[in-house]
Structure 1
């Protein structure tokens, strides 16, 4: 992969949302490829300590611009002279978007519109738009059990978050498909996990982090709907690699590709991988949250063909890495979560 990223040497790359989990791993990879990187981030998705000590934003060797993708002037300034853009900034949580659709609209729709318009008017070579497997919703309602999600199937989003991501995909095609516009590529991330991921209050996403921290604190691992939902868990390091490659692979121009492993894993199976590491681990079944897809896994043929990429870290190894990291990094447990456990 390193040889393929040689194209990025001395190039200028802008990563919106670059201080987040995926963004910070991506920026680190781009810097290793000797790209000049600018991050545009509001720095409000997590406490400062998460960005600095866990995500290592201060030590990435990239320029950090604290700003909002809805601020057209800020976006225009960071895009000046850029060769590539990864648009990863988003209000990126199903439950949070359901509670606050106004914030989701501003960040995921209005902010994306600003980025797309400014990219279209720039000298950028290619934009990589980060989308989500949430656009598939529950898939084909006539199919019972786990189902594979293919890039060309009918999309039936069932949440505010998914709607905003699907809109962004359509808008990228509309604004960046002309003969004189920059190229674009769309990546549909499946369930991203891996250290140094930490949960957010009121969220039911990031299940490896959630379940691991609950088990470590001796709290019940909550299995929404009994944990029968299937997810395609893809490690954050693999996601960062796929995203970097999407900037330079010729076959990705105008393409939409799943970023997943192609392997279905139930929530309960994840819990059972975590439980042996924590003596007080136990389970409790809770209702399925509104808008939470029943699940599926990625078709990976397009990813293999167009991106020429396959994930390297399987679920068992990735979960093992996460629980070991958590055991060695006790301050990773959010204060609000530790306080709830102590109450």
Structure 2
């Protein structure tokens, strides 16, 4: 029996693949390499190159590899870009999830861990985000993730009396950073860590967008969580589903405290040894002052914890990025 990781050649998915293997759960990967890298898939792990929009391919992969559950990571993950490309976002994230569920139903695969997002909350005006907070996504990306959660919920209701009723949980996470393996690094053109790393590698000065927020140092505060901790939570969720243990419909993988952009910049200079003063640019529209979640439910059920300091998060990411030169 194996677990299929959709998007398993991507930054987060590749870490989940390794965490599954380490836990004794054989992984299988399907990825169209639109943002992933074949080199991120470990030797010996079955790799199917193709799109989750190809229903026949997904079902065939499930059957041929005796898959008992799916960790669904594949998707279009750029919230800002989704505003300009809503149709593409919905195709990849909503239709893609629907097709995965349809293929699972046909193949009799009853377990799904869904990589959701804190984007389902939009810009909440609260100190700490909890799972029961109203969902008000502010982008097509956030909307697509929320619809994905609805699809899981509705399919679980529809199959409750079937031979293979769907059991599922969704993991909502925030800013995933660092590296748990020097051969894997974040290659996103939109995330803070790779943007800063690329600037430093190229001799440019990193940029802060806005320093007049209502926070202690004027820069916005976010949850930054290490990718290895994220991967570990996915594996525990898969194990609980496989064991028939109870799970919540959704969990926040948050830090409770958060870090400001300036704190990240200070850590970047400290860890890399490259002294720089960030440029200050205008705020980006729609950026809230603070979004931080508790992670209490995940700590209770998924052994969730923030096991890395900010310096360790930066160091692991920087070492992986510089090793790729």
TM-score clears 0.5: yes
| Superposed displacement of residue 73, structure 1 | 0.6
Q: 1:242 to 1:233 in 2, by over 3 A?
A: same
Q: Are residues 1:14 and 2:8 paired?
A: no
Instruction: Pick the aligned partner of 1:75 from 45, 58, 78.
Output: 58
Residues of 2 paired with 1:274 and 1:72: CA distance? 43
Contact 1:75 1:118 in 2 (8 A): yes
Q: Are residues 1:243 and 2:228 paired?
A: no
How many residue pairs align between the two structures? 305
Q: Are residues 1:283 and 2:278 paired?
A: yes
Contact 1:25 1:237 in 2 (8 A): yes
Q: 1:66 to 1:265 in 2, by over 3 A?
A: same
1:334: which partner in 2?
none
| Superposed displacement of residue 293, structure 1 | 4.6
Residues of 2 paired with 1:44 and 1:302: CA distance? 33
1:89: which partner in 2?
74
1:90-148, CA deviations, whole angstroms, 9 ceiling, x for partnerless residues?
001112222221211110111111112222343224100110011111103xx5xxx21
Instruction: Pick the aligned partner of 1:64 from 39, 47, 50.
Output: 47
1:337: which partner in 2?
none
Instruction: Pick the aligned partner of 1:260 from 245, 248, 254.
Output: 254
Residues of 1 paired with 2:145 and 2:283: CA distance? 22
- Between 1:251-260 and 1:11-20, the stretch displaced more is 251-260
Residues of 2 paired with 1:252 and 1:234: CA distance? 25
Instruction: Pick the aligned partner of 2:185 from 197, 208, 214.
Output: 197
User: TM-score normalized by structure 2?
Assistant: 0.87
Residues of 1 paired with 2:312 and 2:224: CA distance? 12
1:35: which partner in 2?
25
Note the 1:100-119 alignment, pairs <5 A.
100-119=85-104
1:135-176, CA deviations, whole angstroms, 9 ceiling, x for partnerless residues?
111103xx5xxx211001111111111111111111111112
Gaps of 5+ in 2: 212-217
- Between 1:131-140 and 1:210-219, the stretch displaced more is 210-219
| Superposed displacement of residue 292, structure 1 | 4.3
Q: Are residues 1:317 and 2:312 paired?
A: yes
Contact 1:98 1:159 in 2 (8 A): yes
Contact 1:185 1:256 in 2 (8 A): yes
Match of 2:225, SS state, is strand
Match of 1:298, SS state, is coil
1:44: which partner in 2?
34
1:187-218, CA deviations, whole angstroms, 9 ceiling, x for partnerless residues?
001210113333434x2xx2122213313332
1:195-250, CA deviations, whole angstroms, 9 ceiling, x for partnerless residues?
3333434x2xx212221331333212111223711111111111110001111225
Residues of 2 paired with 1:241 and 1:87: CA distance? 15
Instruction: Pick the aligned partner of 1:172 from 152, 156, 159.
Output: 152
Instruction: Pick the aligned partner of 1:162 from 142, 156, 169.
Output: 142
User: TM-score normalized by structure 1?
Assistant: 0.83
| Superposed displacement of residue 22, structure 1 | 1.1
Note the 1:174-189 alignment, pairs <5 A.
174-177=154-157, 178-179=159-160, 180=162, 181-189=165-173
1:340: which partner in 2?
none
Gaps of 5+ in 1: 1-10, 332-343
Instruction: Pick the aligned partner of 1:272 from 266, 270, 281.
Output: 266
1:288-326, CA deviations, whole angstroms, 9 ceiling, x for partnerless residues?
334545431112211112223323222222112223444
Residues of 1 paired with 2:288 and 2:78: CA distance? 13
Q: 1:32 to 1:330 in 2, by over 3 A?
A: closer
1:7: which partner in 2?
none
